[in-house]
Amino acid sequence: MFSKYKKAPPKAAEPVEEKVTELPQPDAPKKIARKANPSTQPASVTPMDKERKRKERMGEIKLELHRALLDNLNLAALEHASESDLRQEISSISSEVLTEKNIILNREDRQTLNQELFDEVTGLGPLETLLKDETVNDILVNGPQQIFVERSGKLELTDVTFKDERHLLRIIDKIVSAVGRRVDESNPYVDARLQDGSRFNAMVPPIAVDGSLVSIRKFKKDKLGIDDLVNFGAFTEEMAAYLQAAVATRLNVIVSGGTGSGKTTTLNALSSFIDNAERILTIEDTAELQLQQTHVGRMESRPPNVEGKGEVSPRDCLKNALRMRPDRIIVGETRGEEVIDMLQAMNTGHDGSMTTIHANSARDGVSRLENMIAMAGIEMPLKAVRSQISSAVNLIVQASRLQDGSRRMTSITEITGMEGDVISMQEVFRFQRVGLTPDNKIIGHFTATGVRSHYSERFRMWGYDLPASIYEPVAAQ
């Protein structure tokens, strides 16, 4: 036993003599011989019932062992303990408790229990296994007994649960306190970032009615490149060649799409076409972009602290970035008044800048930019607003998550200028849906619209002379 990690044992309490008063027992009912009725016989125990009872029993044992750990471990010394020492200490304490309680477990159950206890002490308890699962993209907790994950664009219910609401709240508090935040009835929701970079959001009762709500968007350590996305069928090689020309020739690009449609992944992939000699500044709420260039300055906005002070907004970061001699500015997501500074940066010599917005189509994306400018309190005539947008933004790339869970680049649209009071646009590539397979997989293909790029001459001047064939429509297979 590693005594440096163990609390000193408390003094033994004096034994208390208990008097047990026997209660009179009711007369035993007379046994009546009768024919067995099949309908009244207990149903046979199914394997599912056995597994459920086994999980309940393991949960009770785990709770008891966790209490024993909290009573015995010197939590202050754990910060300096090595992983092997801590695992050995947990194993030792759990063995003692199991022996005292006369609980016999097989080797596999003991190993599972010790791993769960280790996760409880050092990690995020039941969520730890899901965080380590490479196939999981999102973890969604709806109260202590219901945890969903997203795999390949589809949601599925897991068999992972918390013991109760207090257990879930303890894990939430562990996450937010590590980044200097708090969450309680007076401040019932919180955003944070896990140590591995994953995005974390939580909302607790009374705002969350049926138990605390937690959403974790996992941080992908291995970024997907253009070739990976082409292989996955997110878009075609012709579209990739066009996008390479657009980014390399410093067109201003907006990646538009809904939640979970792959906007950040697309932005990461597009950034691979930026020349290594350029100075890039990135601004994000949660640092997710993984640029591979040499000269990258990363900034992350910061929410206010407990006292409501110390906030650094994306707009503050953007204003400061303009004073830092950037060649390109990449904003992880534009959703507020920072849109003004973003458009001004695109209009004043920072060509090739990129950002993402939430919108369902290219035309919706332009409308959303107009609304963000209006909400920022800038009083400008609508025509002036549209003129600002049309001169700043060159390209809108639409990413979508389709009903079968697949992610596609459903449209690439150029902004070509103004026609009267309306922003003129032309679609260059699109994803053409044809139908559904019997197992609800979407059938479709990518095609050019037949419209030659408005920026063809610019591409040619920069040395990207794309063949006319990439603009030719593709017939359905």
List, in order, residues 6 or more apart from 264 with CB less than 8 Å away: 288, 289, 332, 356
Q: Is the dihedral of CA 155, 159, 164, 168 positive or negative?
A: negative
Interval 216-258: pLDDT, tens: 988 777 777 888 889 888 889 999 999 999 999 999 999 999 8
Per-residue pLDDT at 242: 95
Per-residue pLDDT at 16: 45
Per-residue pLDDT at 411: 94
The percentage of residues in the chain with a pLDDT greater than 90, rounded to a whole number, is 32
Interval 375-408: pLDDT, tens: 888 788 899 999 999 999 999 999 998 888 888 9
Measure the CA–CA gap between 235 and 446, rounded to whole angstroms.
7
| pLDDT mean values, one per 10 residues, the chain (477 residues) | 52 47 48 46 62 69 66 57 71 74 74 73 80 89 93 86 86 82 84 83 90 89 82 90 94 92 89 91 84 88 77 89 91 88 85 92 93 86 91 94 88 94 94 87 90 93 90 74
Q: Which domains does the chain have, with CATH numbers?
A: 52-121 (no CATH), 123-219 (3.30.450.370), 226-471 (3.40.50.300)
Per-residue pLDDT at 437: 86
Measure the CA–CA gap between 54 and 144, rounded to whole angstroms.
19
Cα 29 to chain centroid distance, Å, stands at 62
Per-residue pLDDT at 304: 76
Interval 87-140: pLDDT, tens: 777 777 777 777 777 777 777 777 777 777 777 777 788 888 888 888 898 999
